[in-house]
């Protein structure tokens, strides 16, 4: 490139560091690594609690005035669509202030203003469809019947048509959109999540001591929120059966939040092994490698119900630290891990199978070390954030060239 390309990135997530933390990590990591390739990124975090990297603060918390279910059914969709009109001036000023050469918009329900502006201004446009967005809204945010499905799909399809290209996090998400809309397959690119190698971790025994874990103990670990898609009932059964049988084993739950957390803690509190289940609570993402470093076995017991379009950040971060993983053969995970070589799969409908897989790793330290090392090699070969930034750069260059800006 003869000049520094300036990219305006629009993100409308309201829950940046809660349930959406995986998507937030991807945006931060992917785009910061793109900056290392010579691009300048101007971040527009619409609902950020802090100033974004351009120094322009987000506009504050979202306020929902439609509390009554009937009012939500009648006006929620209209309110979301009309919002775009008021966003246009704010976003136009933002684009002009950062002198953008290209626009990336993380698509969200009924959000079309930034995509429309890019087209009006003749700027190349990439859409980041990080999940099956319309599916998410219809299944998780439509309890009052407040979302008018045809309007939701119309706006999403409209944005896809405006875009030069779209990138998604998994093949499942790509197939979802190809089945839903008349889109050319080559217009959608899969850019999965990734992970970077961790440098110079301290002696794990210091943190073990702080957490009350015996120095010689074997640790099974889980990172993330205790949500229903993490199969928490199965996870508790695993904890109960293994800790009852093995007095030298500990379970470390890294993270906080999720509707199953209180119930999980309550179940553990009534058991004689309760002191060998450690709950860290919320941990800043930058510090999570310190805790994953304590794991001998890493768990990701996903349920198989619903549309599994995720690209779980935890899987990549487990693997890059060389951890032996026990997880579910589902979605992108099945493409990333080779059974018996870089991880183990269990049958989510068989609690006994999960117990058996974990026990096989507990009984064979050399085997779990070999699996963990192979997992690390897989990430280093194809799935660091540098690899992902290079994929995104390819999409950016193609869009710029198409508009005569390359």
| Residues 171-195: tens digit of each pLDDT | 999 999 999 999 999 999 999 999 9
Is a pLDDT exceeding 90 seen at residue 255? Answer: no
**Domains, the chain, with CATH or none:** 6-194+384-402 (3.40.50.2000), 204-382 (3.40.50.2000)
115/110 Cα distance (integer angstroms): 11
Lookup result for tokens 């940046």: 16
Q: For residues 68 and 367, which has the higher predicted lDDT (pLDDT)?
A: 367
Of 148, 178, 142, the residue nearest 160 (C-alpha): 178
Which regions of 186-268 does DSSP assign to beta strands (E)?
188-190, 218-223, 249-254
Q: How many residues does the chain have?
A: 406
Report the DSSP beta bridge partners of residue 126.
104, 165
Lookup result for tokens 């068989």: 350
Instruction: Give the confidence band of 18 by pLDDT, cuts at 50, 70, 90.
Output: low
Instruction: Give the confidence band of 57 by pLDDT, cuts at 50, 70, 90.
Output: very low
Distance of CA 20 to CAs 17, 36, 147, 338, Å?
A: 6, 25, 21, 27
Which regions of 145-197 does DSSP assign to beta strands (E)?
165-168, 188-190
Question: Which residues have C-beta within 8 Å of that of residue 305, sequence separation ≥ 6?
Answer: 229
Longest dimension (CA), the chain: 69
Tokens representing 152? Answer: 């939701």
Give the range among 9-18, 93-102, 269-278 with minimum mean pLDDT.
9-18
Neighbours of 237 (CB within 10 A): 16
- Whether pTM exceeds 0.85: yes
Of 220, 215, 216, 214, the residue nearest 361 (C-alpha): 220
User: 111, 154 in Cβ contact below 8 A?
Assistant: no
**Please, what is the average pLDDT of the chain?**
89
Is a pLDDT exceeding 80 seen at residue 62? Answer: no
Is a pLDDT exceeding 90 seen at residue 50? Answer: no
């Amino acid at each position: 490139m003869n000049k520094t390309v300036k990219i305006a990135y629009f993100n409308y997530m309201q829950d940046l560091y809660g349930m959406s933390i995986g998507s937030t990590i991807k945006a931060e990591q992917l785009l910061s690594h793109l900056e290392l390739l010579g691009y300048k990124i101007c971040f527009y975090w619409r609902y950020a609690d802090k100033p974004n990297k351009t120094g322009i603060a987000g506009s504050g918390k979202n306020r929902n005035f439609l509390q009554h279910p009937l009012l939500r059914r009648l006006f929620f969709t209209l309110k979301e669509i009309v919002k775009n009109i008021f966003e246009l001036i704010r976003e136009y000023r933002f684009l002009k202030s950062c002198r953008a050469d290209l626009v990336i918009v993380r698509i969200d329900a009924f959000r079309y203003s930034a995509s429309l502006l890019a087209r009006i201004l003749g700027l190349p446009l990439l859409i980041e469809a990080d999940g099956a967005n319309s599916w998410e809204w219809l299944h998780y945010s439509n309890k009052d019947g407040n979302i008018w499905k045809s309007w939701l799909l119309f706006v999403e399809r409209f944005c896809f048509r405006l875009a030069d290209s779209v990138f998604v996090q998994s093949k499942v998400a790509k197939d979802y959109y190809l089945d839903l809309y008349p889109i050319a397959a080559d217009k959608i690119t899969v850019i999965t999540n990734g992970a970077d190698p961790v440098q110079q971790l301290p002696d794990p025994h210091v943190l073990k001591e702080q957490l009350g874990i015996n120095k010689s103990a074997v640790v099974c670990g889980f990172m993330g929120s205790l949500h229903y898609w993490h199969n928490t009932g199965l996870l508790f059964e695993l904890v109960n059966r293994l800790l009852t049988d093995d007095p030298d084993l500990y379970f470390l739950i890294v993270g906080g939040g999720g509707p199953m957390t209180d119930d999980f803690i309550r179940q553990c509190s009534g058991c004689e092994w309760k002191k060998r289940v450690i709950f860290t609570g919320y941990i800043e993402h930058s510090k999570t490698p310190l805790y994953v470093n304590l794991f001998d076995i890493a768990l990701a017991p996903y349920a198989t119900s619903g549309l599994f379009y995720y690209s779980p950040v935890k899987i990549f971060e487990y693997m890059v630290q060389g951890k032996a993983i026990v997880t579910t053969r589902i979605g992108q995970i099945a493409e990333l891990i080779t059974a018996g070589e870089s991880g183990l799969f269990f049958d989510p409908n068989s609690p006994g199978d999960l117990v058996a897989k974990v026990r096989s790793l507990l009984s064979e330290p050399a085997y779990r070390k070999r699996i963990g090392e192979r997992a690390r090699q897989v990430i280093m070969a194809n799935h660091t954030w540098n690899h992902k930034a290079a994929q995104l750069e390819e999409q950016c260059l193609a869009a710029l060239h198409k508009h005569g800006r390359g």
